[in-house]
Amino acid sequence: MSAAPVLHIEGEFTIFRAMELKPVILAAPPPLEIDLSGVTEMDTAGLQLLILAKRAAVAAQRELHLVRHSPAVLEVFDILNMAAYFGDHLVMDSTVGTARS
């Protein structure tokens, strides 16, 4: 079964939206990439869902990439020191001001 290519998340990625997006993010086939460029606000529920998606990918021995991180996402990752957890170079580069889209 092949994975869905890219999931684009737009708007708020807060507790209410995370509940709505959970079945989409964890669906079969799962996304290969999650595009976060449209996220306008993110709280810990959104972050927890991204952590769950990453853990599910690791358990299934597949890749999951978070791409095009919005300023709202970068702020949460920076405050909670989560960039290294996800291991996405774009996240780590973005936090030092050298992001590319």
Model confidence pLDDT, tens digit, residues 71-80: 999 999 888 8
Asked if residue 34 is part of any domain, the answer here is yes
Q: From 58, 61, 93, select the one nearest 77 (Cα to Cα).
A: 93
> What CATH number is given to the structural domain containing 13?
3.30.750.24
pLDDT band with cut points at 50, 70 and 90 for residue 95: very low
The pLDDT of 87-95, averaged and rounded, is 52
Asked if residue 90 is part of any domain, the answer here is yes
60: containing domain: 4-94
Task: Give per-residue pLDDT as tens, 31-67.
Answer: 889 999 999 999 999 999 999 999 988 888 888 888 8
Asked if residue 19 is part of any domain, the answer here is yes
pLDDT band with cut points at 50, 70 and 90 for residue 101: very low
